[in-house]
A = this chain, B = another copy of it.
Amino acid sequence: MSQKEKTTIILFSADLDKAIAAFIIANGAAAYGHEVTVFFTFWGLNTLRKDQPVSVRKGFLENMFGKLMPRGANKLGLSKMNFAGIGPKLIKHVMKKHNALSLPQLIELAREQGVKLVACTMTMDLLGLKKEELIDGIDYAGVATYLGDAAEAKVNLFI
């Protein structure tokens, strides 16, 4: 009864704008007292990648996926008006001008507020992403964990 409200967000997309929206909602909900979990699946996993290449043994395809996908929160493109990478630069510039937190800062704030960041192990396997390549302090789980959380949450979004 006196339990905390819960909020879950699936971040499927690797678009900068969608990742920003996800983290603004996650941080808002955490500030509001919700227990918040963000599940990173498919392309969304790229948000959690370290920005430097990490030496891990991979097959040919996994290696190629790793090279083609954006390496970390700073490398994401926009879902609209990407203009070969100029769009994200403009958005970052405008956000700085307005003293809005950048995506890496939003992620940092989320961690400080206790938002649980969970990487989907099934899609990590598919895309050939290894734990060593993702940022520290995150959790690893599958769809069962997501459903357990979502079934207890009021707000569940797929972004």
List chain A positions with a Cβ less than 8 A from chain B: 5, 7, 10, 12-14, 17-18, 21, 24-25, 28-29, 31-32, 34, 41-43, 61-62, 65, 68-69, 79-81, 90-91, 93-95, 98, 100, 122, 125-128, 143-144, 146-148, 150-159
Q: Are B125 and A80 in contact (CB under 8 A)?
A: no
Q: Are A150 and B144 in contact (CB under 8 A)?
A: no
Chain B residues with CB below 8 A from A93, complex form:
61
In the complex, the chain B residue whose C-beta lies closest to that of A31 is B144
Q: Are A21 and B12 in contact (CB under 8 A)?
A: yes
Q: Are A28 and B147 in contact (CB under 8 A)?
A: yes
Q: Are A125 and B151 in contact (CB under 8 A)?
A: no
- Please, could you name 17 A-B residue pairs with CB atoms under 8 Å apart, sorted by A? A21-B42, A21-B158, A24-B143, A28-B147, A32-B147, A34-B151, A61-B93, A61-B94, A65-B94, A94-B127, A98-B126, A151-B154, A153-B154, A153-B155, A154-B156, A156-B157, A158-B159
Q: Provided the pairs A126-B98, A153-B154, A156-B157 are in contact, do residues A12 and B18 lie with their beta carbons within 8 angstroms?
A: yes
Q: Roughly how many angstroms separate A80 CA and B43 CA in the complex, as a whole number?
A: 8
Q: Are A155 and B151 in contact (CB under 8 A)?
A: yes
